[in-house]
Structure 1
Amino acid sequence: MSNVEILPQVAAFLERRHGCFIDGQWVLAEGDSIAVVNPATGQTLCETLDAPLELVERAVQSSHKAFKSGVWSSLRPADRERILLNFTRLVEEHAEELAQLETLSQGKSINMARALDLDATVEFMRYMSGWATKIEGQTFDVSIPLPPGAKFTAFTKREPVGVVVGIVPWNFPLLIAAWKLMPALATGCTVIIKPAMETPLTAMRLAELALEAGIPAGVFNVVTGGGASVGGVLTAHPLVSKVSFTGSTAVGKSVGVACMENMTRFSLELGGKNPMIVLADADIEKAVQGAILGGLLNNGQVCAAASRFYVHRSIHDQFVEALAAAVSSMPIGAGMNCDAAINPLVSRKQQQSVLKHIELARQQGARVVTGGELLEGDGFFVQPTILADIDHSMAVAREEVFGPVLGVMPFDDEDAVIELANDNRYGLAASLWTNNLGKAMNLVPRIEAGTVWVNAHVLLDPAMPFGGVKQSGMGREFGRAVIEAYTELKSVCIAH
């Protein structure tokens, strides 16, 4: 396999002593350190700071002060847009550096880091930069009876909420940091990003680029550390006006409880157990390719990944055979190997969690068609796994695995399969595969999910709202919906 040579600036960044980025500078402090590990080797890349309470407080005060000063929120919208576009340009110019940091710390393919993480991040940043000049209110003709004969001018305006905390998971560290950062900055908010302990590097580098782009000190701070310690303090802080969290449903619930103590607004993008429904008339070849992309993207570590597959019985065996043949031939290796299609999971803990799911499925009667084994070595590899003979009651058909595990089940009746697809506590995403568009349009409204794709899976666009129903979350990312989430709607009525 062909290995990518690590850039000198990446090596230099890893050799630095890392603190928290507050008020436009790196701040070091005494405290515990957290090892950032290369999932391909199990070796430590560098260490970051588990921020002590005083640094977390300093970051909040910095963001609050920057917001109240108006150094960012009071800029002309066109000036904010110009600076954000400059920020976007710098990220694009440093794309290879950021992609390598992402791959080294998260484990994902360097090809995917370049083509998906960085390209999608740049496109999202460019799209959101434009929103700075497009935030608008409405005017109203009102019928207020008092005082008699008075005339009124009434309108609404949107104002930035204040200090925003973005809590970012480890599966797409840079991309999801941008999802939280850019709409908040476009609206005039100040932002604190708390990256995952496992993958803080690209968020830290992003903060440096933001300052270089002209975003004032204190407008974008980064605090590293544990979720319970650092994240818990941030979500419960009275000076924080909005929390945007992406992660597990269990932690998301605790974030919501903490926010409610101060009536802090929050949005949650949580787990999913996303169905892929393949009808009898579907194009099998396209459905198999969709299953590989939808189920094994980022080694299955995607909240919207397809993980339970309902395939019509008439094509079930053909689908499983074709899927297993494709998956079993996928080369496995380190993310920095350009030829590897399957890469390590993010951590030893995640590797063990996925293996436990596979073993439990075996014990409950599932048949391993291909894969299912730990790969020997220092990295956190698990073979991509296809499971058949799945019963809908099995844990692997109901619980989020977050790894390269695809469970396939046959169905006979379309009404019954919709009931099965909906019989889950999650409702993030789903896909429907058919050549009958009329049938698809009839079935889509019956699927309980925030996003439904037809003849595709895991397609996102910055303009299209994304988020879940049921226990997959509250609120939406992207488009106008996320701009509204970072602004307060103020009504103004002038008597004259």
Structure 2
Amino acid sequence: MAVQQRKNYCNGEWIESDSEETFSVTNPADGSVVAQFPKATGADAERAIQAAVGAQDAWAETPGPERGAVLRRAAGLLEDRAEDVAKTLTLEEGKTLAEATGEVQRAVDILYYYAEKASDLAGDAKASSDQNSRLRTVMEPVGVVGLITPWNYPIAIPTWKVVPALAAGNTVVLKPASQAPTVAHELADCLDEAGLPDGVLNVVTGSGSEVGSTITSHEAVDAISFTGSSAVGELVRESAAETGARIQLEMGGKNPAVVMPSADIDEAVDIVGAGAFGVTGQACTATSRAIVHESIYDEFVERLADYANDIEIGPGLEAEMGPQVSASELESTLDYIEIGKEEGATLEAGGDVPTVDGDGHYVEPTVFSDVESEMRIAREEIFGPVVAVIPVSDFKEAVVIANDSQYGLAASVITENLSEANRFIDKVEAGVVKINEKTTGLELHVPFGGTKRSSSETWREQGDAGLDFYTTTKTVYLNY
């Protein structure tokens, strides 16, 4: 595959960076170069922001059905290219082709979903206490929004931020993650071909210190949506506080799956295994802790280890689990595996670098048993295919352990006991709660977000809630 030469997208044109410098995006399976991108400067980000400012009024005044028509055309274009875009996603990020195909389809579905929503953003009529007046609300765009997105879902997350922002009448400056920006450019290309006016969407690639900080600290940026690590998210929060920008932060997780005695063991293993090792464990909603009742603990650990050992590892175009996205991510995962050993946890499966052809960033799916809640592998986000299995004596203890975390993103309980299921819903501290399902996987039409250090706990993403962040409400009193 030829190396793609990419440019920034600004004011409706694909342009070079002022720096004239580039960086390479490499295939984590073998180190080959997939694409080259501009290493943008603060001046490039400034230009993109000014383009968004210039386009804002006209796009806000564009009727909702017309905005929706652009999104609908873009959905069709992306759908036509889905196979090629999915392959590119696998080559630059590493996940399997099946996972990449599902992610691209999610982007298509989001475009179609908000294309219809754009026609219905008028506000509500309310009853007035005066018979000679009318009372209603009007929904209006926030203005210019800055979006900073991660590499692990490199088209789904940009899409579920960009598209509701556009549907609501905002203009956008997007900085995709440098490890996997190519498919975000494919999204921009589809929107451009669909007739999106110049300046409404701008995409700038480069470092967080140059591009990201310019976006988050700029007085003209009215709202900032960020997905990434909690550490960087806190910096974004501080920067936005100085300008008064509205913020939406979705950050880390240490997601538990509680397994109770009534659960079918085979089903429980499949749920936990898929949640822990899918997308190579590189998901903020990945199952990182399995909290298992002591009466089934040994059997569960044995079967989960077998599940991990049976996973075929290799390039995403061929295998069941692909590489980690970069050498640094692999190194971090291997460091945590060593920490788990040093802390006294028992390594039941994996824990090593497998033998795979090519110079890829591979690690074996890893299972630790005899884990205590105080251990670092049970408390810190690993972002790799590592799961810590913690024994508990009863349901009450399981919920206490599940909540013993600085994070609160997703949580699951696997049980056939209706009382336990409902008590878990009531007691667990998480923004997403699942019963007999893996912690990963989201529907596009319902709210997504976390609690504690997993989120700013301001506005949720996706569905109708995804539009709330990008709109303000004006209340109109009409006395006739």
TM-score bracket for the superposition, by shorter chain length = over 0.9
CA contact (8 A) 1:169 1:195 kept: yes
Match of 1:113 in 2: 100
1:26 aligned to 2:19?
Answer: no
2:347 alignment partner AA: V
What residue ranges of structure 1 are gaps of 5+ in the alignment?
A: 1-5, 145-149
Match of 1:461 in 2: 443
1:406-417 aligned at under 5 Å gives the runs: 406-417=387-398
Could you tell me how far apart the structure 2 residues matched to 1:60 and 1:442 are? 48
Match of 1:129 in 2: 115
How far is 1:395 from its partner?
A: 0.2
Give SS of 1:173's match: coil
Match of 1:181 in 2: 162
Give SS of 2:295's match: helix
Match of 1:398 in 2: 379
Could you tell me how far apart the structure 1 residues matched to 2:4 and 2:191 are? 21
> Could you report, residue by residue, the CA deviation over 1:127-161 in whole angstroms, capped at 9, with x for unpaired residues?
121110122323334458xxxxx943222111011
Match of 1:482 in 2: 466
The alignment's C-alpha RMSD in Å is 1.4
How far is 1:107 from its partner?
A: 0.8
How far is 1:76 from its partner?
A: 2.1
CA contact (8 A) 1:386 1:407 kept: yes
Structure 2 residue corresponding to 1:373, chosen from 352, 370, 373: 352
Give SS of 1:419's match: helix
Match of 1:318 in 2: 299
1:36 alignment partner AA: V
2:296 alignment partner AA: I
Structure 2 residue corresponding to 1:81, chosen from 68, 81, 85: 68
Match of 2:478 in 1: 494
What residue ranges of structure 2 are gaps of 5+ in the alignment?
A: none
Could you tell me how far apart the structure 2 residues matched to 1:46 and 1:459 are? 29
1:155 aligned to 2:141?
Answer: no
Give SS of 1:310's match: strand
Match of 2:276 in 1: 295
CA contact (8 A) 2:89 2:182 kept: yes
Match of 1:3 in 2: none
CA contact (8 A) 1:33 1:47 kept: yes
> Could you report, residue by residue, the CA deviation over 1:50-89 in whole angstroms, capped at 9, with x for unpaired residues?
2112211110010111112x1x222222222222111101
Could you tell me how far apart the structure 2 residues matched to 1:199 and 1:225 are? 11
Match of 2:343 in 1: 364
CA contact (8 A) 2:7 2:15 kept: yes
1:45-64 aligned at under 5 Å gives the runs: 45-64=34-53
1:35 alignment partner AA: S
> Could you report, residue by residue, the CA deviation over 1:444-478 in whole angstroms, capped at 9, with x for unpaired residues?
11000001000002231111101000110022111
1:101 alignment partner AA: T
Quick check: 318-327 or 242-251, which moved more? 318-327
Q: What TM-score, normalized by structure 1, do the two folds share? A: 0.93
CA contact (8 A) 1:20 1:27 kept: yes
Quick check: 242-251 or 25-34, which moved more? 25-34
CA contact (8 A) 2:373 2:404 kept: no
Give SS of 2:60's match: coil
Could you tell me how far apart the structure 1 residues matched to 2:469 and 2:251 are? 17
Structure 1 residue corresponding to 2:314, chosen from 315, 321, 333: 333
Structure 2 residue corresponding to 1:224, chosen from 193, 205, 215: 205
Q: What TM-score, normalized by structure 2, do the two folds share? A: 0.96
1:19 alignment partner AA: K
How far is 1:176 from its partner?
A: 0.4
Could you tell me how far apart the structure 2 residues matched to 1:134 and 1:447 are? 35
Could you tell me how far apart the structure 1 residues matched to 2:35 and 2:73 are? 29
Match of 1:470 in 2: 452
How far is 1:30 from its partner?
A: 4.1
2:180 alignment partner AA: T
Match of 2:402 in 1: 421
Could you tell me how far apart the structure 2 residues matched to 1:289 and 1:76 are? 47
Match of 2:237 in 1: 256
Identity %: 39
Match of 1:247 in 2: 228
Quick check: 135-144 or 215-224, which moved more? 135-144
Could you tell me how far apart the structure 1 residues matched to 2:281 and 2:44 are? 35
How far is 1:19 from its partner?
A: 2.1
Structure 2 residue corresponding to 1:102, chosen from 81, 85, 89: 89
CA contact (8 A) 2:18 2:43 kept: no
How far is 1:124 from its partner?
A: 1.9
Could you tell me how far apart the structure 2 residues matched to 1:95 and 1:80 are? 22
Could you tell me how far apart the structure 1 residues matched to 2:182 and 2:144 are? 22
Match of 2:54 in 1: 65
Match of 1:388 in 2: 369
1:235 aligned to 2:216?
Answer: yes
CA contact (8 A) 2:159 2:187 kept: no
How far is 1:375 from its partner?
A: 3.1
Could you tell me how far apart the structure 2 residues matched to 1:74 and 1:136 are? 12
Could you tell me how far apart the structure 1 residues matched to 2:218 and 2:377 are? 38
Could you tell me how far apart the structure 2 residues matched to 1:162 and 1:427 are? 30
Give SS of 2:296's match: helix
Could you tell me how far apart the structure 2 residues matched to 1:130 and 1:284 are? 42
CA spacing shift, 1:461–1:15, aligned 2, 3 Å: closer
Aligned residue pairs, count: 474
2:201 alignment partner AA: F
> Could you report, residue by residue, the CA deviation over 1:32-61 in whole angstroms, capped at 9, with x for unpaired residues?
322211101123323211211221111001
CA contact (8 A) 2:4 2:36 kept: no
How far is 1:301 from its partner?
A: 0.2
> Could you report, residue by residue, the CA deviation over 1:354-399 in whole angstroms, capped at 9, with x for unpaired residues?
0000001100101111110123551101111011111111000000
> Could you report, residue by residue, the CA deviation over 1:421-454 in whole angstroms, capped at 9, with x for unpaired residues?
1011000010000012232112211000001000
Match of 1:349 in 2: 328
Could you tell me how far apart the structure 2 residues matched to 1:41 and 1:172 are? 20
Give SS of 2:256's match: strand
Could you tell me how far apart the structure 1 residues matched to 2:397 and 2:312 are? 37
Could you tell me how far apart the structure 2 residues matched to 1:140 and 1:207 are? 38
Match of 1:434 in 2: 415
Could you tell me how far apart the structure 2 residues matched to 1:464 and 1:412 are? 34
